Amino acid sequence: MSQSFQRIAVIDIGKTNAKVVLVDGMTGTELAVRKTANTVIPGPPYPHFDVEALWAFLLGSLREFAAGPGFDALSITTHGASAALLDDEGSLAMPVLDYEHLYPHETIEAYGKLRPDFSETFSPALSGGLNVGAQLHYQKTTFPDQFDKVATILTYPQYWAYRLTGVVANERTSLGCHTDLWHPFEGRYSKLVDTLGIRERMAPLRSAFDALGPIRPEVAHAIGLQIPVPVYCGLHDSNASLLPHLVGFGSPCTVVSTGTWVICFGVGAKPQRLDPSRDTLVNVDANGQAVPSARFMGGREWDLLTRDMAVVPMEEELIAATAVIDAGSMILPSVVMGTGPFPDSHFRWMNETSSVSERLAAASLYQALMTQTCLDLIEAEGPIIVEGPFAANQLYLRALHTLMKRPVHASEATTGTAIGAALLTGITIDVKMRSIVDTLDGLDDYAREWRSRAGKT
């Protein structure tokens, strides 16, 4: 049953920046945004997020919104790969670890012997603390006295929900994003929680759609709220981007969420060909369903390939694309090594061009070919929805439509994460889409040549 909240405040904490967004409950429009850097304190005892600075920022932003247009619900989305460890009084027993912190070799080696197989968790072995299980193992073995004081373990969006409501919870999208702690196809914890001896410390599971409770009276007073405001459980940010299209298109469908990472979600796909060495994995959507996924660092690669290049008009880029295809001028992976479907391949040009417009065109075609590779790896089906910055790249969209030979839609929403989090409150928002109908001549032969060379080191 849909709700009729007028305005929803969304806490959106990314790895680099944190935002508080005021979302119109009827249209999904961003009415106001406040933003700050997400600071990492170098230590001791290890690099960790400055959660008190974030808390002060969140309260200040919510106070501004309450004093202005107001809001009648609150939802939360954050980056993955983080957990909050509470003591028996409800305070942090240990700081929230920065997942980019790298552990000693012996710690990594020891954890490698403990972690479950990919066939159970569909979670590939990742660097630093990108596997939350690796974080917990590091904290437990390196700081045993502090870890002994841990009474409750929370996934990161739910830590902020706890600060607001006093209610502890864990939620499946954050547990299911390469933590090693979750069995996505059986909807339960993996054996790692018992190996680490933490099962009794894991907070109760709640749905992302659950209203955990109203904002606590003392917090509401600090914000200046005049009415009770429900706080929704919240979810992992990539799944927040997925949710509007899950609602709009159902299963099967394919969502390509673009940003620093391009994350391809195969809603309704099966995991037969998932290869952990090629950056494939399984995410868990807001409904608790397993979603085969693949990714590459597309936004970072785009920045590296096009740095200091001026944007050219679409007509000029299309002419350039034809010249690039005819000349077989192509970028071969991987621009950022160690990630994506070709992690061991070295970036190189074939038939390199010096023309700025042709280099831009080649970069767009490269992104489309990498996306196609990811979609093939996860056997994604159904209409393709592209959201985020690449939804504005007309050549990329046209190339993807040509390569995949099925409907491609570009989302016109600018804030996929905020809209997705707002949808948890039960509101209904129609995300505007633009259908891609044009194709590129000669691209199929170009793609065959690219594929024959792409895996070579």
Predicted local distance difference test score (pLDDT) of residue 260? 81
Q: Is residue 379 within 8 Å of residue 274, measured between CB atoms?
A: no
Q: Give the homologous superfamily in CATH for domain 7-233.
A: ATPase, nucleotide binding domain (3.30.420.40)
User: What pTM, to 2 d.p., does this model score?
Assistant: 0.89
Q: What's the CATH fold of domain 238-454?
A: Nucleotidyltransferase; domain 5 (3.30.420)
* Phi, psi (deg, nearest 5) at residue 344: -100, 0
Q: Is the dihedral of CA 434, 310, 454, 177 positive or negative?
A: negative
CA atoms of 324 and 311, how far apart (whole Å):
17
Predicted local distance difference test score (pLDDT) of residue 412? 86
Which neighbouring-strand residues pair with 12?
A: 19, 77
Radius of gyration of the chain (CA): 22
Length of the chain: 457
Q: Which helix (H) or strand (E) holds 83?
A: strand 83-86
Instruction: Characterise 211 by phi-psi region: left (phi > 0), alpha (psi -120 to 50), beta (else).
Output: beta
CA atoms of 96 and 47, how far apart (whole Å):
9
Positions of CATH 3.30.420.40 in the chain: 7-233, 238-454
Rounded average pLDDT per 10-residue block, the chain, 457 residues: 83 94 93 96 97 98 97 97 97 97 97 96 92 98 98 98 98 96 96 98 98 98 96 95 87 91 92 88 95 93 94 93 98 92 95 96 98 96 94 97 97 84 93 94 97 86
Q: Which residues are CB-contacts of 335 (< 8 A; sequence separation ≥ 6)? A: 297, 300, 301, 304, 305, 347, 366
